Amino acid sequence: MKRTLCIILSLALALPAFLCASAEGVTFTTPYYTLTLPEGWEIDMTDTGSEDGYEYLGCFFAPGDRGLAVYAFLEYYEEMKDFSLWNAGEDEIREYAEMTMEAFADENPVYLGTVTAGTIPFVLLRGKDGDGVEYLYADTMTNGYAIEFEVYVEDWDGNVYPLTDRHIEQLRTILATLVPVS
């Protein structure tokens, strides 16, 4: 009886620690920021690198078939070196969103609003590339540096599928966890 009581007590004490650990998720870390991903998501940091002001930071993707695949980039825009969304007002954010939509005009972008990570706003667009593949695009700008995410729904064979509202909400939730590296 004492042994059974000891086992039950041990399990009761260990269960909260297990639940807290499993709820923490996975951290996607770059030299510039971190993101907290849901538990079970995978990270691929192979083939990262930079060229001509454009840096591929890696990707992360949902477990299972037909989940989000999120590709992360950092790009420098000399003409934007004095601009930052991080301290911008609503009008400046709207102007930036319009400018971003113009850059993607050939892909029929739809503005989905902004997502805020602390005080950092991200502009979120939905579009279709030249092959008709649907994607999400999110970015924020600070001092000429754009933190960019290209997002698709993919299976393990690289086939791409339509986005759903659930996928958009998943991305919003992840982007809201962004913390700049100090």
- pTM metric for this prediction: 0.83
Strand bridging mode 110-117 / 67-76:
unpaired
pLDDT band at 70 (very low <50, low <70, confident <90, very high): very high
- Can you tell me the distance from the alpha carbon of 71 to that of 172, in angstroms, rounded to the nearest whole number? 15
Write down the mean pLDDT value for the chain. 86
Say which residue the tokens 């039950």 belong to. Answer: 8
Domain boundaries, the chain: 24-180
Output the pLDDT for position 69: 94
Q: Mean pLDDT lowest for which of 49-53, 79-83, 92-96, 159-163?
A: 49-53
Contacts of 139 (CB under 8 A, 6+ apart): 100, 122, 123, 146, 147, 148, 149
Q: Domain 24-180, what fold?
A: Protein Transport Mog1p; Chain A (3.40.1000)
